[in-house]
Every structure is written in C-alpha cells, then in structure tokens.
C-alpha cells in the first residue's frame, strides 16, 4: 500500500471507485479532469501578480458583475479540460448565460457539470484566497432527449461536489457521498496529495461568518439570530466573527474549525446573493457529508429544485447544531419581533 502521504487525488478516487460498484472509469476520469484544471488555474492564480492578468476585462457577466481576467481564464480552462473524453453532455458556468452542449453521442455524456470557475474573484487584486466550486450530476434523460431536467436537479441528486481553494496552499476538497476528502497541491511534483481524509465539521459552531454591513437590510428575525450568535446561546456561548468575503475560503475555514456561514435575504435581494446550483448546493453536499448541514432558512438546501441555472438562495451553512438552531429560530413567527424571518423565498 503506498504511503498515505503520497496518495494523489486520482489514486485515492480510484481506491474509492471500488465503493461504487456501478462506477465507470468516466466518473473517476472526470474528477481527474477537474483536478487537472485546478492545477492549471492555480498556476495562474499564484503568479497573477507577476503577469498582466490582474484586473478587470471591463466586461460584465450574466450576474451583471465585472468580469476579472482570471475569471475568464478559469472559465476557459474548465471548459477546455473538463469532460474532454466524452464523459459530459452539458456544462453550465457562473460566467455563461446559458449551458454549453458538450458530447451528445450515443453512449457518451453520462454527466452534467456545473461550476463557479473563480468564486470570490472581486478579491483577486488584494491577494485574498479565492476558489473554484463544482457539481457533478448524472444525466437523467436519454442522450437524444436531454433537457433542462438534466441540469436543474436538486442537490440531493448530486453524484459528486467539491471546491478548490487557492490560498496559502492550494487544496482540492470533494465528496462522492462517501466522506469528504482534502488534497493539498505539492507544487514540487504538481500533484494533489491526500492531506485531510474524511473531514468532519465540529457539531457546534465557534465561528460565525456574515457581512454585518448588510444588517440594515436584514429582517428583524435575522438580526436577532446574528445578535444571539454574537452574545452567546446556551449551547455554544459567544463566537468569533470571521468574514473573508470569499465563500470558498470562509466555508473551508468553518469546515475545518467549526462555524456557520450566513448569507441571508435582504430588502434589496429577497433570495440573497449566492447561487443555488453552483455555490449553495455543492457546498451543502460537502457540509452534510462532513456531518454539517445547509439550509435556506426554511429547509435543506439539498431538497431545493432549481428553477433556473443562476437562481439565487439564502444560505445558512456549516456546523449542524448551529444551522438547525438558525432554521428553528427563523421558522418561529414570534422570533425577532414577529417578522416573517426573512423567509427563504422557497417555492410554495
Ligand atoms: P458580500 C464573492 O463575490 C461572493 O460571491 C462570495 O464568494 C462571497 O461569500 C460573497 O460574494 C460576498 O458577498 O455581499 O458580503 O460582498
């Protein structure tokens, strides 16, 4: 058995493939493609300050957000290297208005891949950690009848989900439903090596992550939730505030240390800012497979059926005890002066 410390992501996934008797090599090679794309993106992110790749392209994306050059680059790399061996029929990206058809040959295209190529990109010029987030769904329809149902699947149907965090080191974290595993990039050999096997998030949060600058825009119930996180509850006492403003970096720290990330609805954005399909759902799958939980304020993120590729959702994500407490408080009509609790906007 090779030394665990020198087990790269492809070998570890192959080992775990044995847990999926029905898994084909396509699934394993698809995760390997994503890991490869991450290495290429990491190389540019690491040297962004050295080449003329910083700053904005001047364009804006479907979200109306200014597209940073690294956004464009990361999006192009994912489209170029992921699913190039016939594993993928459809891909969708935060940076693209519509999904891209990849391989529709009979017997090909078993999977649908959705991704945020570079989350937190507004932090790029300040050298703050940023990340890539991805979801892998199984195609539901016959290849000749592919439709939106193959793309707009609830997180509960995910075959795999993961993220890459480009920080002090570059880490690849994923789950296929059999635990959450982290791999750290060794630049010397250009491999992601298994460094965090079977990550479990602490049951109760010791950290809360929210942009308190939005407080005037929250419902009274959300304000009361954050106040209690700050001033202490019986279960967990007072907490530390940590907010990077980069979802992947905030989530990764909370996953390892125990914490709760909140992006509540606001009067300006009743469904919050974050997107269900390629931000909330993949991180919710990771959280739940690490023993945590993710809610839109009314119920599990993983049960939400997306109505559109870029649909937004409120997000409460992290340590199970704390997210369940938040959900319970927001469901109580009396909590926070009887407001509607900034409900989830969940489709009725
Ligand atoms: P705010 C980055 O733009 C992002 O999409 C996430 O990575 C991050 O969690 C969030 O937006 C930050 O938003 O409103 O706090 O600046």
pLDDT tens-place string over residues 34-79 = 999 999 999 998 887 666 666 777 787 788 777 778 899 999 999 9
Q: What is the mean pLDDT of residues 96-122?
A: 90
CA of 64 to the centre of ligand 1 (A): 14
Q: Are residues 229 and 191 in the same domain?
A: no
Is the per-residue pLDDT at 17 higher than 50? yes
The CA distances from residue 241 to 27, 305, 324, in Å, are 39, 32, 19
Is the per-residue pLDDT at 152 higher than 60? yes
In a domain? residue 341: no
Q: How confident is the model at residue 119 (pLDDT cuts 50, 70, 90)?
A: very high
What is the DSSP secondary-structure string of 297-330?
Answer: SSSBGGG---SSTT-B--EEEE-HHHHHHHHHHH
Give which of 341, 345, 344, 343 is closest to 223, Cα–Cα. Answer: 341
- Whole-number CA gyration radius for the chain: 20
Neighbours of 135 (CB within 10 A): 25
In a domain? residue 69: yes
Q: Are residues 214 and 279 in the same domain?
A: yes
Q: Are residues 247 and 158 in the same domain?
A: no
Q: Are residues 111 and 137 in the same domain?
A: yes
Q: Are residues 39 and 152 in the same domain?
A: yes
CA of 288 to the centre of ligand 1 (A): 22
Average pLDDT, rounded, for the chain:
89
Is the per-residue pLDDT at 236 higher than 60? no
CA of 4 to the centre of ligand 1 (A): 36
Per-residue buried b or exposed e for 301-328, using 16+ beta carbons within 10 Å of the residue's own CB: bbebebeebbbbbbbbbbbbbbbebbbe
Residue ranges making up the domain that contains 62: 4-196
Q: Which residue's alpha carbon is at the smallest distance from atom 5 of ligand 1?
A: 120
Is the per-residue pLDDT at 224 higher than 70? yes
Q: Are residues 23 and 157 in the same domain?
A: yes
In percent, how much of the chain has pLDDT > 70?
90
Q: How confident is the model at residue 348 (pLDDT cuts 50, 70, 90)?
A: very low
In a domain? residue 65: yes
Q: Are residues 183 and 243 in the same domain?
A: no
Q: Are residues 166 and 266 in the same domain?
A: no
Q: Are residues 187 and 216 in the same domain?
A: no
In a domain? residue 98: yes
The tally of domains found in the chain comes to 2
In a domain? residue 135: yes
Sign of CA dihedral 141, 145, 147, 151: positive
Q: What is the mean pLDDT of residues 144-170?
A: 93
- Among 246, 252, 314, the mutation site with the greatest number of ligand 1 atoms within 8 A of its Cβ is 246
In a domain? residue 343: no
Q: How confident is the model at residue 217 (pLDDT cuts 50, 70, 90)?
A: very high
In this predicted structure, what is the pLDDT of residue 84? 83
In this predicted structure, what is the pLDDT of residue 234? 60
């Amino acid at each position: 058995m090779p030394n665990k410390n020198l087990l790269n992501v492809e070998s570890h996934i192959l080992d775990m493939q044995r847990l999926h008797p029905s898994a084909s090599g396509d699934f394993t090679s698809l995760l390997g493609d994503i890991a490869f794309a991450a290495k290429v993106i990491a190389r540019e992110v690491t040297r962004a300050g050295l080449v003329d790749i910083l700053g904005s392209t001047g364009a804006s994306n479907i979200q109306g957000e200014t597209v940073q050059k690294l956004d464009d680059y990361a999006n192009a790399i994912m489209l170029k290297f992921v699913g190039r061996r016939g594993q993928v029929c459809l891909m969708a990206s935060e940076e693209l208005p519509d999904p891209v058809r990849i391989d529709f040959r009979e017997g090909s295209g078993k999977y649908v891949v959705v991704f945020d190529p570079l989350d937190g990109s507004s932090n790029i010029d300040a050298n703050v950690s940023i990340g890539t987030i991805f979801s892998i769904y199984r195609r539901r329809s016959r290849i000749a009848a592919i439709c939106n149902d193959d793309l707009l699947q609830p997180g509960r149907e995910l075959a795999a989900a993961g993220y890459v965090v480009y920080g002090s080191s570059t880490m690849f974290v994923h789950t296929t439903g059999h635990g959450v595993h982290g791999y750290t990039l060794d630049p010397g050999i250009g491999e992601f090596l298994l460094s965090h096997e079977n990550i479990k998030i602490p049951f109760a949060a010791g950290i809360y992550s929210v942009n308190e600058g939005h407080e005037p825009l929250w419902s009274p119930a959300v304000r009361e939730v954050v106040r209690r996180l700050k001033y202490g509850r019986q279960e967990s006492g007072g907490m530390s505030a940590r907010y990077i403003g980069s979802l992947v970096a905030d989530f990764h720290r909370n996953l390892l240390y125990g914490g709760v990330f909140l992006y509540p609805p606001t009067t300006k954005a009743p469904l919050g800012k974050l997107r269900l399909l390629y931000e909330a759902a993949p991180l919710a799958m990771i959280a739940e497979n690490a023993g945590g939980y993710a809610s839109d304020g009314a119920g599990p993120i993983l049960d939400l059926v997306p109505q559109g590729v870029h649909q937004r959702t409120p997000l409460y994500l992290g340590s199970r005890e704390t997210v369940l407490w938040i959900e319970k408080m927001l469901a109580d009509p009396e909590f926070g002066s009887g407001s509607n609790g900034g409900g989830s906007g969940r489709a009725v």
